[in-house]
Structure formats: structure tokens, C-alpha cells
Structure 1
Amino acid sequence: MNWRPAQDNDLPAVQDLLHRHIESSMFLLINLRDHGLAGTAPKAVQLWVRGRAEDGVAGLTNDGSLLIQAGAATAEDWRQLQQLVDHRLAQTASQQQVGVLGETAQLRRYLAATGLDQRPKRLDRDEPGLALSLTELDLGSLDRPQLSGAVLHPLSAAPRPMLVQWRAAYHQEILGTPASEAVAVASQDIDSYLLRDSHRVLNIADRWVAMTGFNAQLPEVVQIGGVYTPPEQRGHGYARCALALHLKEARAAGVEQAVLFAAGEAAVRAYRAIGFQSIGGYSLVLFDHAPRPSTAEGEPAS
């Protein structure tokens, strides 16, 4: 089955496919919503459909990340897609493929079929997925002495240098970003979060103790990303508290569901404590020849 460029009349079927697999399609949905099919922004996508629009889609962002949602794609389909990706990248002489994001089984088949499983990587991680209907949000675990007086604030309430430092540490610890790049990328991230009002910071007893946020948002669902507690504040439930309060805020605004992909088993246990249930996995691969993108696309919650 051949891939072809998506057209405007494909979008209803594409969006239906992505909504049916929303837990692993948030970034494609957000990018299409914000930029359409012909955008020039870094996260705008060149979108291809696999035969009929409902059979699968793939989008290459202008900054070189491939996003896939094509569960029935064959090895030959993936090889044909990579030819299109390589041709598109060749049209921009300075651009390289930064990485690929998608549901774990699909992404592993894509890498094996194209030989990209042999390319050196900066980051190569399969992340367990979790989802929560916000009607099931469990706030009971917040009733602990160490969380007494916890207040969630917009990022603008906290010192920006501290936030950049936290975010740079997250980049190095979770995303494998080199120290030489981490502060610059973190600074761009924090500016983006402030502009979008997408993240929050938790204060307890006049101490800033954790950060949480949504790295993708639709009216009915949010995807959590960038949850962080500095090492000296860990082990007290601060990140769990920050996330729960942020989800409570989102629920009051009409959001119905939250999804996330966790960086480790400790994070999974923390999210289960507020009601999250396991779903399929998601994978993020970043090739080591390319600079880290300046946004949080594809990152785990923590």
C-alpha cells in the first residue's frame, strides 16, 4: 500500500483515526490543529496517508521529528515512508531527521524495517502509558502532613532562573540532553510554557518544590509532560500533589481525560496513586547527530 500526501479532504478521516488512538496521537492532532497541512512553523507537519486516510498517517515536522500512527503498516510500507521522509529532508539541505515518536510496537517495526535501529541514538526509550478519566481522579493521597498548605501557582509566580535550572536538569536526567545544550533549550521551553500557561509550580511553606505541566492540550484531553521535583525535595509526594492539583484545575475547566507516558516504575507508582491506569506504551527515539528540539514534544511525564 502506497503513501501519498494528505489533502484537505482527508482531514476528517485523519482526525477520526487519531482520536480513536488519542493516547498516542496527541502531538499529531495538536500540530494539525495549530498549523494545518502547509504550515511553516517548526512543529508544522508534512503529512502522508497510507492509502485511505483511515489506514494510517505519518507526519514529519519542519524541525525533523517523524510522528507515526499506522498500526497495520507493513515493513514495505515503512520503507516507502522513509524514502518520502529522506526526500523531504533532502529538500532542506541543513535538516536531518531528529527522531521518531509513536506507539511502541509500531515504532519498533518502523526502525527495524528501515535500518534505523542501527543508527546511533541520543535517546531510545519505551515508556509505559497511563490514562485517567478525570471523574476518577483520586485526591485522597494528598491528605498527608507533608503536603499541608500546598498551593499550585502559575509559572509566572516563581523565579524564572530557578525554573530554567529545574528544566535544564530535567533535560539532562530524563531526555539525555547534553549539558552544553540543556540551559539554552530549557530557557526556550520555559518561555513557551509561560506564553501558553501550560505548566504549574507547587509551593509548600514558602518553598518551591515541584513543577508539572501539559505538553499537549485539547478541549477534552490533556497529555502530561515535564513533571519534575529537584533531587533534594524528592520522596515526599510533591510531584504527585502538583499533578493532582493541576488535573483538578483542568477538570473544573471541562477536561475529561488525561494521558501520560512515564519515565520509570517509580513514576508509574506515583501516578497510579491518583487513579491512573495502564494503557499501551509509547516510544521516543532521538538520533545523536541532531540538536535536541526546543520544545517538549514527545517527552515523558517524568
Structure 2
Amino acid sequence: MPILRTLQPGDEVSLEAFLLQHTDTSMFLRSNWRAAGLLDQGARFQGTYVAAYIDESIVAVAAHFWNGMIVVQAPVYLQEVVQAVVAQSGRAISGISGPAAQVEATKSILGLSNRTTQLDEFEILFSLILRDLQIPQALASAKVECRLPHPEELELLTEWRVAYSMETLGQRDTPSLKPVCRLAIEAYQTTAMHWVLVAGDTPVSYSAFNASLPDIVQIGGVWTPPALRGKGYAKSVVAGSLLDARSQGVKRAILFTGHNNQAAQAVYRGIGFLPTGEKYGLVLFEETQA
């Protein structure tokens, strides 16, 4: 049987060595510990991490983050690390993400299989080596510009984030949604991890990195207002963000999107992304459960 251990500062090397074996489905885990460390004081990106060890090597990990999300990377001993991390964190559970089969099993382990969800999908993982990025003509010819948003644009982007959350993540338009979206946009602005596409002086599309490492980034939050779709703007904003990342030495990008989201898949394939063959699980529950 494994030894279960709550990770602490000093365990980073062991954790990273394990997660590197599962790079494409470990982006949130890798990015969050690098951003916020392994102490859990409830701040943004912080979480409680429980790992299973065999012979001093980590073989499974589950984390319960500040926002209530449980993120798993546990090809073995999934039940043990999931139950331990929930008991240790004492947090409510807002959702689960990780390799698709593990996410489905985690719902069962925690007795949440029948709980109402706002989103419950097995998503397709896509990958792109950035030297193979196909740059849309509109971006290459400077008909549109991709850049860091200006401060006066953040209110508009907050509204877009609300719309994205409702359309893509199934969230309801509750009084708390806009403040949460504003905090997310402000955090992206502080870390320079989001981009707006402008045609002339008009913002027309948006993209962000929801996880970022020196060698690889994960795209999330891509949004074009419905009236502006079908013009190639999403391709240009994602490509523009990746040109920035490539200029800073990033080698690869990944993302996940729903099986039924044919429009998004066409956008990503259009700039060079290809499916990896892996499936990513994402569950967001309708209301937080203690």
C-alpha cells in the first residue's frame, strides 16, 4: 500500500517529476503550484495537495484548490488520494478536472454521480508545437492586431467573460457571476496572460492562458461575441497570443474543447492544432456542496 502525504514546501521536485510523466493532463496542477507554492492559505491558485508515494516516489496526486475545484492525476490509488485531500482541505467541492476516466471515477468515489452539474464533459485534448503555428492572413498583414488589453477595456472583457461563462461553462446569471468574472479578468491583466484582438480600434475577440509554464501554455476562455463570429477573429486572437508565447521561448500549446463544439475545433485545427488522442474531464457542479 502507498504512503499518503500532504505535500509541503520542499516537495516540489518530487511533484514535478511525477507530473512531467503526464504533461498534457497536468497543466493546472503544474501551473498552480508554480504560481502559488504548496502551502494552502486559501489564496488564488493555492490548494491542498495529497500524494501517494511508493518507494519515495509520487505515483498519484489530488489537489483541492482555493476555488473548490478538485484536480486529479492519479493513474493508481485514485480513491485514496481523493478521499484524503477532501478530508484534509475541508473545502466545498465546486468541480473536478483531470484525465477523463479519473474524473468520472472521482464523482463516484465522492458520492457525487447524481449531483446536478452545469457542465459535465469529456473534452478533446489538442496540441500544437509552436514552430508549426499557422498564422492567419489577417494577423500577418496587420489587418487586425492582437495585444494586451488596455485598462479601459477590462469592463467590456468582464462582460464578455460573463457571456463566455454562461454559454460555454453553463453558468447561470447570478449576482455573484460578474464579480467573479471581474476578478478573473483582473488577475489575467496583472499576469499579462490574456489578449484582445482589435480591428481598427474595436475589440472583436479574446483569448487567455489558463495555465502557463516556461515551455508550454494552455489556452482557455476564447470568446468572440456572436455578432462578430465567422470572420476568423478567434483564429487570429489565439494565434497572436501564441506568437507572444513563442517569442518568450514557449515551445508548445495545448487546449481542450467539447466533442460537440465543431466551430471551436475548426478554429484550432485552422492554426495547426491536432488531437492528442487523450480525453480531458471537466465537471462543474450546479451549486457548491460542503
Regarding TM over 0.5, the answer is: yes
Q: What residue number does 1:233 align with?
A: 228
CA distance in structure 2 between the aligned counterparts of 1:223 and 1:197, rounded to whole angstroms? 14
CA distance in structure 2 between the aligned counterparts of 1:267 and 1:205, rounded to whole angstroms? 24
Any conservation in 2 of the 1:89–1:97 contact (CA below 8 Å)?
no
Residues 34/161 of structure 1: CA separation in 2 closer, same or farther (3 Å cut) = closer
Report whether the alignment pairs 1:213 with 2:208.
yes
Q: How does 1:129-148 map to 2 (within 5 A)?
A: 129-139=125-135, 142-143=136-137
Q: What residue number does 2:158 align with?
A: 164
Any conservation in 1 of the 2:63–2:85 contact (CA below 8 Å)?
no
Report whether the alignment pairs 1:285 with 2:279.
no
Residue 13 of structure 1: CA displacement?
A: 2.5
User: Could you tell which deviates more after superposition, 257-266 or 152-161?
Assistant: 152-161
Residue 54 of structure 1: CA displacement?
A: 3.0
CA distance in structure 2 between the aligned counterparts of 1:83 and 1:54, rounded to whole angstroms? 17
Q: What residue number does 2:69 align with?
A: 65
Residue 24 of structure 1: CA displacement?
A: 1.2
Residue 9 of structure 1: CA displacement?
A: 5.3
SS of the aligned residue for 1:200 comes to strand
SS of the aligned residue for 1:290 comes to strand
CA distance in structure 2 between the aligned counterparts of 1:21 and 1:82, rounded to whole angstroms? 18
Q: Deviations over 1:107-164 (max 9, x none)?
A: 112223443212222221221110111011111xx2259x861111211165232111
How many percent identity over aligned positions?
Answer: 32
Any conservation in 2 of the 1:148–1:204 contact (CA below 8 Å)?
no
Any conservation in 1 of the 2:9–2:39 contact (CA below 8 Å)?
no
Q: What residue number does 1:245 align with?
A: 240
Q: What residue number does 2:187 align with?
A: 192
Report whether the alignment pairs 1:178 with 2:172.
yes
Residue 37 of structure 1: CA displacement?
A: 2.2
Residues 143/47 of structure 1: CA separation in 2 closer, same or farther (3 Å cut) = same
CA distance in structure 2 between the aligned counterparts of 1:272 and 1:186, rounded to whole angstroms? 28
User: Could you tell which deviates more after superposition, 156-165 or 175-184?
Assistant: 156-165
**What is the Cα-based RMSD across aligned positions, in Å?**
2.2
Instruction: Give the counterpart letter for 1:186 in structure 2.
Output: C
Q: Deviations over 1:34-80 (max 9, x none)?
A: 2322231142121111233431111111332211101133xxx41x3
SS of the aligned residue for 1:108 comes to helix
Q: What residue number does 1:50 align with?
A: 52
Q: What residue number does 2:112 align with?
A: 116
Q: What residue number does 1:298 align with?
A: none
CA distance in structure 1 between the aligned counterparts of 2:149 and 2:85, rounded to whole angstroms? 37
Residues 97/230 of structure 1: CA separation in 2 closer, same or farther (3 Å cut) = same
CA distance in structure 2 between the aligned counterparts of 1:7 and 1:86, rounded to whole angstroms? 16
TM-score, normalised by the number of residues in structure 2 = 0.89
Q: Which has the higher strand share?
A: 2
Runs of 5+ unmatched residues, structure 2: none
SS of the aligned residue for 1:55 comes to strand
CA distance in structure 2 between the aligned counterparts of 1:81 and 1:193, rounded to whole angstroms? 31
Any conservation in 2 of the 1:158–1:201 contact (CA below 8 Å)?
no
Residues 114/187 of structure 1: CA separation in 2 closer, same or farther (3 Å cut) = closer
Runs of 5+ unmatched residues, structure 1: 292-302
Q: How does 1:29-44 map to 2 (within 5 A)?
A: 29-40=30-41, 41-44=43-46
Q: What residue number does 2:22 align with?
A: 21
Q: Deviations over 1:248-283 (max 9, x none)?
A: 121111111101112422211210111111021211
Instruction: Give the counterpart letter for 2:126 in structure 1.
Output: L
Q: What residue number does 1:294 align with?
A: none
The aligned length equals 281
SS of the aligned residue for 1:288 comes to strand
Residue 230 of structure 1: CA displacement?
A: 0.2
TM-score, normalised by the number of residues in structure 1 = 0.85
Q: Deviations over 1:186-241 (max 9, x none)?
A: 21111111111111111113321101111111111111111100000001110111
Any conservation in 2 of the 1:100–1:285 contact (CA below 8 Å)?
yes
